[in-house]
Amino acid sequence: MKINVLKRSLLVLMLISSLSGFSEVSLPPFFNCNMVLQQGIAIPVWGWASPGEKVTVTLDKNVVSTRSGKNGKWRVDLPKMNYGGPFKMTVKGKDLHTFGNVMIGEVWVCSGQSNMEFKVSSAKNSAQEIASANYKNIRSFTVKKRVSKEPQENLEEGEWWECSPQTVADFSAVGYFFARNLYEKLNIPIGIIHTSWGGTVAETWMSPEAIAADPDFSELLGKLKAVDNVTKVNPNDYPTLLYNGMLYPIIPYGIKGAIWYQGESNASRAQQYKRVFSNLIKDWRTKWGEGNFPFLFVQLANFKKAVAEPAESEWAELREAQTQTLKLENTGMATIIDVGDAIDIHPTDKQTVGYRLSLAARKIAYGENLIYTGPTYQSMKSENNKILITFDHVGKGLKITDKYGYINGFTIASKDGEFKWAKATQVGNNQVMLTNEAVDNPSAVRYGWADNPDDLNLYNSEGLPANPFRTDTRPGKTK
């Protein structure tokens, strides 16, 4: 009798031990109800299970199976689909996961620092915006803040939210207004994956591999490996911390592109940013493996007290670095030099920011024939103590607001001379003539060259502001 009881006990223990070796199929939290999946590309879906376990993913009529590897990881790529829904997705292994209300549409990553983190609840006219936010086919997923020494395979938590007056208050304002403008033009479900952290520098959003190849940051990467408790570290203390914790886990979720609002925290190192920002974009594109996907960004707004006389400016140099990044394929920039706040680094007019980003998306990502940026410096010609500036992207022509009766914000200088305010007048459809009687043989021009160039009033026919620029290459403040 005692022997039989012992045998039964051993059998129970063996059964419990055997069952404990079975793990449920699991997925990252962004594979869930209400998700938006990217149309027009193979759709990657991945997760974890017992080693060697068969996993079958079904989405609408598409069924794909695989087996998890020795490390328990699995991935399938569902066939590309056109936009639509709602659909049901099931993921079946030893257990079954069912996700409803799945849409196929356009997915955009929204990242950067505090002006991307800025919520709809704090935006201009927030009460009206929230009350009218009935867009069930706009969905948002917010990545929880986290620093990490090493790239993390999964997120701690998160869920997709349908846009409604009950949910939209906590959406990224720039992300939401961008998505809303796209949705109203395309009538396609829009998903935004919001991953940002206020006050952060660009290099914390770059991969360890990209940082290791940068001579300015590689030493810090080595020091990071020796940090014991990374949870007590500020995200700006070392590079790559937010890439590891808040970006790597969502790669390679299928996306159309990315929008980026950041730069304030790198302004004192603007010359370095010319390299860093371009490398960040290349880094993300390499890691995602979707080619040169559209990467759209916001140029710094006007901020701080307006200056009475021409001077050097860190923020102007950072804007120049952002403009030069447009040399990369499939990039676009929203110029917002006219919607900032002199006393608040977080201007509340995020509607204009989202709209101008959506113009860039409609042109660069969706091929629409439209004017998507303001007047942009094209060329300069000097003659008889005058300088003639020619602009591109003027639409039907340059437009000058009549607040002053003249064009504000231009300065000129002779070679190695001081910059002085210029008298600027429009010439023809796309040119401005500059003069100053105190400047002989002028050879350099600057426009909007200040932290806050105040009330700039040069636009194109589409109402988009001229992009600040300079023609000289003097060292500036951030060399």
Taking the C-alpha atoms of residue 368 and residue 318, their distance in angstroms, rounded to an integer, is: 29
CATH (residue range 376-470): 2.40.10
Range list of β-strands (E), 265-385: 295-298, 331-334, 376-383
CA nearest to 31, candidates 75, 72, 63, 65: 75
DSSP code of residue 74: E
Distances (CA, A) of 472 to 331, 390, 447, 476: 24, 16, 11, 10
* pLDDT value at residue 211: 98
- The residues near 4 (Cβ < 8 Å, ≥ 6 apart) are none
Range list of β-strands (E), 299-443: 331-334, 376-383, 386-392, 398-400, 410-413, 420-421, 423-427, 431-435
Q: Where in the sequence of the chain do the CATH 3.40.50.1110 domains occur?
A: 109-364
Distances (CA, A) of 98 to 31, 36, 50, 63, 120: 10, 15, 19, 14, 31
Q: Where in the sequence of the chain do the CATH 2.60.40 domains occur?
A: 36-103
* pLDDT value at residue 23: 67
Mapping DSSP to helix (H, G, I), strand (E, B) and coil, where does residue 206 land? coil
pTM of the model: 0.94
CATH (residue range 109-364): 3.40.50.1110
3-state helix, strand, coil in the chain (%, to 5): 30, 30, 45
Tell me the per-residue pLDDT of 162-219, one tens digit each, with 9 for 90 and over: 999 999 999 999 999 999 999 999 999 999 999 999 999 999 999 999 999 999 999 9
Mapping DSSP to helix (H, G, I), strand (E, B) and coil, where does residue 365 land? coil
Question: Could you read off the pLDDT tens digit of each residue along the chain, which spans 479 residues?
Answer: 444 544 454 443 343 333 334 468 999 999 999 999 999 999 999 999 999 999 999 999 999 999 999 999 999 999 999 999 999 999 999 999 999 999 999 999 999 999 999 999 999 999 999 999 999 999 999 999 999 999 999 999 999 999 999 999 999 999 999 999 999 999 999 999 999 999 999 999 999 999 999 999 999 999 999 999 998 999 999 999 999 999 999 999 999 999 999 999 999 999 999 999 999 999 999 999 999 999 999 999 999 999 899 999 999 999 999 999 999 999 999 999 999 999 999 999 999 999 999 999 999 999 999 999 999 999 999 988 999 999 999 999 999 987 677 899 999 999 989 999 999 999 999 999 999 999 999 999 999 999 999 999 999 999 999 999 999 999 999 98
Tell me the per-residue pLDDT of 108-117, one tens digit each, with 9 for 90 and over: 999 999 999 9
N-terminal to C-terminal alpha carbon distance within the chain:
88
Give the class (CATH, top level) of 36-103: mainly beta
Mapping DSSP to helix (H, G, I), strand (E, B) and coil, where does residue 336 land? coil
Amino acid at 357: L
Q: Where in the sequence of the chain do the CATH 2.40.10 domains occur?
A: 376-470
